[in-house]
Amino acid sequence: MSNELEAFLEYISVTRALSSKSVEAYKSDLLQIEAQTGSKLLCLNSEKLLSVLSNYSNKRTLNRKLSAVNAFFDFCYKQHFSEKTDKFKFAKIPKLLPKFLSYEEVKRGLLLIDRTTWIGARDYALILFLYASGTRISECLALRGEDIEGEWLHVLHAKGEKERIVPLAKVAIKAIEVYKSMMPFESEYIWLNYQKNVLSRISAYKITQKYLGISPHILRHSYATSLITGGADLRVVQELLGHSSLVSTQIYTHIQKENLKETLEAYHPMSNFHN
């Protein structure tokens, strides 16, 4: 590994305070490019670099590697390690509307759950919690009892190792309390399996798939969509979801625009006017 690359990794780890996973991803992408070209990054010309990167047919993978390269070159230029000012454009990716469930669809799924057992009470509470909090499944499964204070949820295990505080619906809190009262053992963690171990991602997936036919992440989209169609500001949704950039939240503007269009057609007197 070159001294420049080591310095870059230290910079994004210490100065920019990126998560260890993000730093490792940058390192992996940049070292992979060097291995494929057989040359250090700063020794590569644009043609050679783009020739190698063009082998990636998946545009999201390509853009991730381009992002790493751009960040590295920008760092080296600002630190006077190089005179390269190349900045590669990202590949265009069609903006797809995220799949989501309506409130009625979530309710129908919840009605299928037998809540007379503690496992059923857990499944019911888990689905309600995911829909009411918009948390990532990793954040949800890392939840401890102390992370819920009154009607507020402290998300301590968020992406990027940052903390955020979000309000939690009373119905979700009540469901968790009922589930915990039925649970045959105690633990600092909330979501457990029958062996007293923290629920796995695969188990959580099986639960939401069984009752709703979706992955847990779709409930995060459903949470955001419900907020947007209800009139929430995009910046507020960004804060609640824990997005570091508004760019990640802007995918929901398509939903916002469609909702405005439907509202206009339903209520504006000119919507059905014909010459």
212-229 pLDDT, tens digit each: 999 999 999 999 888 887
From 59, 64, 84, 159, active-site residue: 159
In the numeric block, the tokens 């992440």 are attached to 217
The packing angle between helices 103-110 and 118-133, to 10°, is: 170
Task: Output the pTM of the full model.
Answer: 0.61
Respond yes or no: is residue 220 known to be catalytic: yes
Token pair belonging to 216: 């847990």
116 exposure class (CB count in 10 Å sphere: 0-12, 13-18, 19+): exposed
pLDDT of residue 161: 57
- Name 40's Cβ contacts closer than 8 Å, sequence gap at least 6: 2, 34
pLDDT tens-digit readout, 159-169: 555 678 899 99
- Choose, from 27, 65, 122, 136, the residue flagged as catalytic: 136
Between helix 216-229 and helix 103-110 the angle, nearest 10°, is 140
Q: Is the pLDDT of residue 120 over 90?
A: yes
Interval 127-146 mean pLDDT: 93
* Catalytic-residue membership of 217: yes
Task: Grade residue 275 by pLDDT with cuts at 50, 70 and 90.
Answer: very low
Residue with the larger pLDDT of the pair 34 and 204:
204
Cα 84 to chain center, whole Å? 33
pLDDT tens-digit profile of 59-107?
Answer: 778 888 888 888 888 888 888 887 877 777 776 665 555 688 888 999 9
Q: Which of 115, 164, 217, 254 is catalytic?
A: 217
Q: Is 252 a catalytic residue?
A: yes
Q: Which residue has the higher pLDDT, 117 or 158?
A: 117
What digits encode the pLDDT tens for the residues 234-268? 888 888 888 877 777 777 766 655 555 555 555 55
Of 27, 65, 157, 220, catalytic: 220
> Phi/psi at 31 (nearest 5 deg)?
-65, -35
Q: Does residue 185 surpass a pLDDT of 80?
A: yes
Question: Would residue 243 show up in a list of annotated catalytic residues for this protein?
Answer: yes
Q: Answer yes or no: 201 catalytic.
A: no
Answer whether residue 39 shows pLDDT above 50. Answer: yes
What confidence tier does 191 reach under pLDDT thresholds 50, 70, 90? very high
Asked whether the beta carbons of 192 and 199 are under 8 A apart, the reply is yes
CB atoms within 10 A of CB 230: 8
Percent share of the chain, pLDDT over 90: 38
One of 26, 124, 131, 252 is an active-site residue; which one?
252
Q: Determine the Cα–Cα distance for residues 32 and 30; give it in Å rounded to an integer.
A: 5
